[in-house]
Structure 1
Amino acid sequence: MKPVLRHDVSLLPIGMAMAGAILLTVMDAVMKGLSAGFSTLDLVAGRYVFGTLVAVPIALVMRPALPNAAMLRAHLVRTLVVVVTAGLFFYSLSILPLVEAVVFSYLSPVIMALLGRVMLGEKVAPAVAVAIAVSFAGVIVIAVGKGISVAGMGRDLWGVLAAVAAAFTYALAMVMLRARTGSDPIVGIVALQNVIAMAYVLPLSLAFGQPLSLVQAHWPWLLLAGGLGAVGHLFYAGAFKRAPAAKIGAVEYTNFIWATAIGYVAFSEIPTASATAGAALIVCGSLVLMVKRKPAAA
């Protein structure tokens, strides 16, 4: 049976998505702070081990229905995309200023709208091509500001490529989430995501990294990051259960505010003019998707 996707027109889904955005931005800052001394693989493993320690007790208290075979299969695939997204984004955080890494994630609402149309049959405005062009121009503006050539950008090039790739995989993961929220319990989704992600990454980290050193040195920060990630995704899952992917994706733009403030306080980072201008273009491009057009006269 095809899941029923809700379309709540109230401000509740927007408020839930904004709460999720704030919590996940703070989590990103915590992970950026840890990235200086540890590998991306260990950071991803630590994030999901401690996310499991928070999400599973919540699920035990809330007691959602146990996952059936279809739910398990779907989230095995979706969580693999989530893990790839986390790895790409945490790597970009280790190279780029927090606000710049976040700005590149603004590409995801345009991609969400496209994937929402292809995968879920959700309607989007006909000016998708314009949105993509304007958003891509924003990426170019940021790249030009950093020195667009390989020689000019240096190591930053890999951070930019990782952040852009993370925007694509994040959008795919969120649309896949939207597809499941019509039939799967929210708490179950988040708990299952953390458990499966831990199962994917922890063996690799134990084999090729040093996760025990990370945990011994920084377990309180990892617990904080795991809690922020688990609760933030609970808010996001609730928002995607109630509203289309393109609408919720637009809330990502508030991250610029939180990332700028946190980056300045925690890392003494100030957004460059190119990052600000590029963010404005990407936001404008994605907002094209939100404009309601009057139907043509008969």
Structure 2
Amino acid sequence: MTAPPQNHATLGILFVIAGVFAISINDMLIKQLSGGYPLHEIVFLRSAIGILFSLVMVRMEGGWRILKTRRPFLHLIRGLLIVIANMSFFLALAAIPLADATALFFAAPLFITLLSIPILGEKVGIMRMSAVLVGFAGVVIMQRPWADSGTLEATRVVLLLPVLAAFTYALNQIMTRKLGVESKASALSVYIQATFIVVSIGFYLVAGDGRFAQGTDNASLEFLLRAWVWPAPGDWGVIVGMGANAAIIGYCLSQAYRMADAATVAPFEYVGLPLAVFWGWLIFAELPVWEVWAGIFLILGSGLFVFLRERQKARVVARAPLKRH
């Protein structure tokens, strides 16, 4: 018989906050490198270094035996989902400001809340569902459907890349909740890093010489398809730091969604929004336009409402008297 999922809300929240902070550092570093390296090379180097850190965590959490799984196909699907999520988001980073891409990506917690209903059987009341709809309204505003495409900083397709990333990331985290009962966080992280390595090697074999990037003026396509180059000496510290950071991200987020209900943990990912604005201002001298600010406030507001609603319900349940049968 399969044991029920753990539900340690406080620990899950702490892990997700740590993971989101690490993600904000990762995104800032990748945007810095996006002008000189292809995406699949950055992903390969980050994951090759990150998997070494993850394997150390495997040893600490129980040894090589915890890498064995009875559900390899589901782990493969989960790994591919996170690869799609990451690469879609990183491609957007090459063309639009960090805060804009991050704000659009924050449809992910909204998707997680919705997907937790049919997939995990979690209950989401009308108040929380209304808050989710408000959050999606913020996503629509940030897409600026009324604006002429020539006035946008990127094409409509590029603006939708973070939303695709959000959806596939949400599916990944829901699967983490499903798989977390029998897999340690470090093992889940190793599976993801290994998937990144395999996919990036595949990209190298097909497009590593840069032939598909010739003649393109699209920043996202150029980032995806340019030729591999040997990293400059000054960039190795950043690349090693990204590798260690990747292991932290994989471990913290896997642990968060193993230990607590997805709908409880997901709202705390909104910490990434102010962090993205901060890094965008500090490193790239970027500040969001008013539509992005409006979307950020709607998403933050809906997330805070969901959190407060859950806290209120938890207190009511805790005070309710036990019934005799």
Query: Is the pair's TM-score, using the shorter chain for normalization, greater than 0.5?
Result: yes
Question: Structure 2: any 5+ residue segments left out of the alignment?
Answer: 210-226, 317-325
Q: Pairwise mapping of residues 162-177 of structure 1 onto structure 2 (< 5 A)?
A: 162-177=161-176
* Separation in structure 1 between the aligned mates of residue 54 and residue 230 of structure 2, nearest angstrom: 21
Indicate if the aligned counterparts of 2:30 and 2:90 stay in contact, CA closer than 8 A. yes
Provide the rounded CA distance (Å) in 1 between the counterparts of 2:152 and 2:94. 15
The two structures have a TM-score, normalised by structure 1, of: 0.88
Partner Cα separation in structure 1 for residue 48 and residue 67 of structure 2: 20
* Among 232, 255, 260, the residue aligned to 1:238: 255
Q: What's the offset of the Cα at 1:133?
A: 3.0
Q: Decide which moves more: 264-273 or 104-113.
A: 264-273
From 240, 250, 262, the counterpart of 2:279: 262
Alignment partners' CA distance in 2, 1:183 and 1:192: 14
Q: Is 1:202 matched up with 2:201?
A: yes
If you compute each CA radius of gyration, which structure gives the higher value, 1 or 2? Answer: 2
> Is residue 138–residue 277 contact of structure 1 (8 Å, CA) maintained in 2?
yes
- Give deviations 1:213-269, integer Å, cap 9, x for gaps: 154563332221121111122112221121111111111111122112211221111
Identity rate, percent: 25
Larger deviation, residues 123-132 vs 192-201: 123-132
The CA distance in 2 between the partners of 1:154 and 1:21, in whole Å, is 26
The answer on whether the counterparts of 1:64 and 1:187 sit within 8 Å (CA) in structure 2 is no
Other structure's SS at 1:213 match: coil
Mean CA deviation greater in 242-251 or 153-162: 153-162
Give CA deviations for 1:94-115 in whole Å, capped at 9, x if unaligned.
1111111111122111110111
Quick one: distance in 1 between partners of 2:69 and 2:13? 31
Residue 149 of structure 1: CA displacement?
3.1
Deviation, 1:78, is 0.4
Residues 44, 86 of structure 1: 8 Å contact kept: no
> How far, CA to CA, are the matches of 2:94 and 2:155 in structure 1?
10
Partner Cα distance (2:60, 2:236) in 1: 24
Structure 1 gaps of 5+ residues are: none
**CA–CA separation in structure 1 for the residues paired with 2:15 and 2:131:** 25
Aligned to 2:190: 191
Alignment counterpart, residue 264 of structure 2, candidates 223, 234, 247? 247
Measure the CA separation in 2 of the matches of 1:64 and 1:124: 38
Question: In the alignment, what sits opposite 2:36?
Answer: 37
Equivalences for residues 115-126 of structure 1 within 5 A: 115-126=115-126
